[in-house]
Each structure stands twice: as C-alpha cells, then as structure tokens.
Chain A
Amino acid sequence: MDNRTLPYLLLLPATLFLCVFFLYPFALVAWQAFTNEAGFTLEHFRTMADHWKFPIAFWNTMLLALAVVPVQVVLSITMAMMVTRMQRGRDIMLYIWTIPLGISDLAAGIIWLAIFEQTGFLNSMLYGLGVIEQPTNFLSYQNTWVIFIAIALAEIWRATAIMLVILVAGLGLIPKEYDEAAEVFGASRWQRLWKVTLPLLRPSLQTALILRVILAFEVFAVVAALGGTSLPVLMGETYNYQFELQDGHVAAALALVILAISIAFTLFFLRVLRVPKGAQI
C-alpha cells in the first residue's frame, strides 16, 4: 500500500464515526443557535449576551481555568519528575496519585462538599484548633471567592492525575542518554530540567495542556455541588437554558461560545508548544 492513501485509510473509521455521531448532531445544534422560525438570526446570541449573568459566568469560567491549570501543570510535572527519581514505593505512589483519575466530577464535588459545608470537616478542624468559635458558612453567596477557592481546590485535586499520566508516559519515552549526557557536561539538575527534559517533553505537555484546558472550560458538576447558583459558569448556564428554561436555541449559542474559546486556546497551545518536525525525538 502506498504512503499517500494509507494515512487516510487509517483515519477513515474515526472520521466516519465522528461524522455520524458528532458532526451531524453538532450541525443540528449549531443550526439551532443561528435560526428561528423566520430563518437566520443572531437573536439567540443577543438574548444570551443580554442576560445579566452571562458576563459573570464567562469570567468565572475563564478565571477558574486560569487559577487551576497553571497549578496543575506545575504539580503534575513535579509529580512526574518525582516518579522517575523514585526507587522504592514507586508503584504504590503511582497508584495513589492516579486514584482521582477514576473519580467523576460529581463524586469529587460531593467529596469537597463534605469538607467545606457548614458542619463539614474544615469547620470542625478550625473549631478544634480554636481558630473559630462557631461554624462559618464558607459556601454562601456573600463570599463567592471562598466558593471559588473551594472549586479550584476540588478541580486541582480531581483532574491533575490525567496530566500526570500523560507526562509520566511522555517522560518514559525520552531516552535516558540525553539527561546523562547533560549531566556529564556538568549541567545542574535544574538546568537539565529546563534545557533537556522539558523541551523534550513538549509533545506530551501539549497534549496534556490542551485536554486539560478544554475540560476546564466545561467545569460543571463540581461547581454545581459546591456553589449551587452562587457562582455561575458557562456550562451551568448552558444546562439551565436547555433543561430548566427549555430554550435549546440559547443553550446552543452558549455551547458555541464554549466551543469557540476552546478552539482558540487549542490553537494557541498548538502554536506555542509547536514541535518542529526535525526536532522530534
């Protein structure tokens, strides 16, 4: 088989599958966002943008991603580097660190609710330490920034494992010789990390970042569990329009906004962390 048709043949099943089960329904939804009984319209986008909660939801979503993802990058790189250095207890450590991988966002929201609720463990601990005299309500609409922190912590807790796994796999693919050579030439551990390992890790880092950022824009169940309606996010508003307000048009418009942001960030990471063909391992 010649090399011109083979890639297309390999892509065929995935492409067909996505055309039928993703692109087709997606086109129906996108159509909904731009039409009403009369034909083409931007009315639904206007309704969406005019709602007083839209800017709040938009910025909450962006700020959450901005607060969560960088911490996750640092944390997952640290953990991945530690794993490669570890001699004893490595297997059990990996098992523990990847546990959140199997935990759904709904369950993660419930877990952190147990900590932050008014009779929860954080209140009990602070009370036991004598810091507070009576339980405070952390998750009230009056201090949304505490809700914000709680959600960010839950997200960091839940979704760092996936980056960790991708990075550990990526690290394993970098031949040890590069690092050893750098060491022979007297590079410090810090220099080797910045000049050798991280640049070589770029493909994995790119994959991990794109996946993570896209998922960060779709944060929903954790927010619903911890913040209720006090901290609106885009995905929550989408649900609300679709299922509470029964307005598929505006829900579709919101979904397209989420899609647009995601694509913008994907292109950004594809560009910034571009791996030149010749520079691949």
Chain B
Amino acid sequence: MKHRFFQGYLYPSYTNSVVTKFNSPEAVVAWEKFRELWQYTNPGSTNFSFMQEQLLSEDVWVAFDHTARLAEAFNQRPDDFIAFPAPSGPTGRGFMPVIAGIAIPRTAPDMDGSKELIAYMMKPETQLATLRATSFFPVVDVDLPDDMPPAVQISGAAIAKMSGSADANPGLLPSGLGDEGGKFNQVYVDTFERIVLAGHDIEAVLEDQAGTLRRIMEETGAPCWAPDLPSEGACPVD
C-alpha cells in the first residue's frame, strides 16, 4: 500500500496535489520530511504488506494500512491497539477514501440478473455483512448496529474523526488510467525507493520521475482528480 500512502496522504498533505505538483518545491519538502521520518521505521518494513501481522507479532507498534488489512489486530487484541486519523501537513490532512462505482456493460447478456445483483449488493444487510467480514465500510447510508467486531468499531471511530476534521483534504483514487494504473503506482514507488532507500538526490529523482509521470498522463489522457484541480484533457505535470 506504499503507493497509496504517497498518492493519498503524503502528496495531498504537503502539496495539495497528486500529479500536477509531483515535482515542486513543496514535494521536495515532503520527501525530505519523509526521509527524515524513515529512520524511525523498522528496516524490514519494505517487505511488509499485511500490517496486521507485524502489529500482532510486535515487529511494529505504529502502522499505516488499509482498514481491511488491520482488522485482525483489532479483533484479536482490541485492548492493545488504537486507531487514529492520518496526520496533517502544511496543506491539510490528506487521506484517500475509496469511492467505487458499479456499471453494467450495454452488451451484458443478462441485464435483469445484473441489475438484481447490484441491487442485492447495495442492500443494507449485504453491506453490513461485508463490513463484518472484511472491514470494508458501507457505501450506502446504514446505521451501524452495536455488535460490530472490534475492528469495525475502532477503525470506524478513527475514520469518522478523520473525515470530520476541519483540515480534512480527501483525495480520490487515481482514475482514467486504464491499464497504465500499475505504471502510475510504480512512479511513486520508484521515487520512494530511489530517494529514501537508495539515498539519491531528491530534485534529480523528482525531475526524472516527473518525465515518466507526464508520459503516462499524456498517453492515457486522464484528467486530474481531487485534490488536483479539474483539467481540460490530460492532467498536467508541472
């Protein structure tokens, strides 16, 4: 989930942007800060992917991950762990809520069946069952019952606090990238590995990676998404 951290948390909090200000003085400050903070992390963390495991084994005490990947830590030891909002930076408290859309292709062979399936998935009961099992929060308006598993209660409270905070700066998932999504993420991961792990010069790396990013944006023509301002055509990289 590294790439999501950079796209949804680090960049919005420092540059109020994901793409446009990828290579900017604010971004340099962000990476300097991140490099400084990195010394306090577990050096094995580059290979961690399911943070609930490391929390439970106490390889780490503080972790960033998707709620679904932390659920077991809260469920197994609800009294030992707390959830807290993402920290804020100079340009607000960046975080990345996931908004999903569901569509049926015009050529779907069983249109009615598809509609029924979507209706079923949107039912409050189904959404609650999903939440219970996976910690994916409901996308429709549902009153949460009190008997939810600890993971849901604990992370739900932190998420509510985060999205309700005065400086909340939510960003969207990258969109419009088609099958270039993997490459888009790779730009951020590469930038991290070069700056933080390999200790390369920040300005030079950002300059270089911005070229790759610009190429991806121009090839896909993906317009900007929040917190970047809406664009005509492909989202520009300054």
Whole-angstrom distance from the CB of B235 to the nearest CB of chain A?
19
Least CB distance, B220 to chain A, in whole angstroms: 12
Tell me, rounded to whole Å, the shortest Cβ–Cβ distance linking B185 to chain A: 8
Within 8 A of B (CB), among A216-242: 227-230
Q: Which residues of A contact B44 (CB under 8 A)?
A: 118, 137, 139-140
Residues of B within 8 A of A (CB): 42-44, 46-47, 57, 59, 179-183, 186, 190, 193-194, 197
Say yes or no for A244: interface residue by CB 8 A criterion.
Answer: yes
A53 to B182, CA, bound (A): 16
| Secondary structure class of chain B's binding surface, majority of residues | helix
**Could you tell me the distance between the alpha carbons of A235 and B197 in the complex, rounded to whole angstroms?**
22
Main secondary structure of the interface of A (DSSP, over half): loop
Q: Is the CB of A139 within 8 A of B47?
A: yes
Answer whether A230 and B46 are a contact pair too, CB < 8 Å, given A52-B194, A118-B59.
yes
Q: Is the CB–CB distance between A245 and B183 below 8 Å?
A: yes
A104 CB–B CB distance under 8 Å: no
Residues of A within 8 A of B (CB): 51-53, 118-119, 137, 139-142, 227-230, 244-247
Q: How far is the CA of A142 from the CA of B197 in the complex (A)?
A: 8
Let me know if A245 and B46 touch, CB within 8 A: no
Contact of B47 among A51, A142, A230, A244 (CB under 8 A): A230
Complexed CA–CA distance, A251 and B186 (Å): 15
| Closest chain B residue, CB of each to CB of A138 | B44
Query: Given known contacts A137-B42, A140-B46, A142-B43, is B57 in contact with A244 (CB within 8 Å)?
Result: no
Measured CB to CB, the nearest residue on chain B to A117 is: B44
| A246–B43 touching, CB < 8 Å | no
Q: What is the bound-complex CA distance between A67 and B180, given in angstroms? A: 37
Chain B residue with the shortest CB-CB distance to A119: B57
- A residues in contact with B182, CB < 8 Å: 244-247
With the chains together, A244 CA to B193 CA distance in Å? 17
CA distance A137 to B197 in the complex (A): 16
Query: In whole angstroms, what is the CA distance A142 to B39 when docked?
Result: 11
Contact between B179 and A246 (Cβ–Cβ < 8 Å)?
Answer: yes
Assess the B46–A229 pair: CB atoms within 8 A. yes
Q: Quick one: given A118-B59, A230-B46, are A52 and B186 in contact (CB under 8 Å)? A: no
A277 to B190, CA, bound (A): 53
A206 to B47, CA, bound (A): 38
B53 → A minimal CB distance (Å): 12
Q: Is there an interface contact between A228 and B179, defined as CB atoms closer than 8 Å? A: no
**From B43, B46, B183, contact of A247 by CB (8 A):** B183
Assembled-state Cα–Cα distance A229/B179 (Å) = 22
- What are 29 pairs between A and B in contact, CB < 8 Å? A51-B190, A52-B190, A52-B194, A118-B44, A118-B59, A119-B57, A137-B42, A137-B44, A139-B44, A140-B44, A140-B46, A141-B43, A141-B46, A141-B197, A228-B47, A229-B46, A229-B193, A230-B46, A244-B182, A244-B186, A245-B182, A245-B183, A246-B179, A246-B180, A246-B181, A246-B182, A246-B183, A247-B182, A247-B183
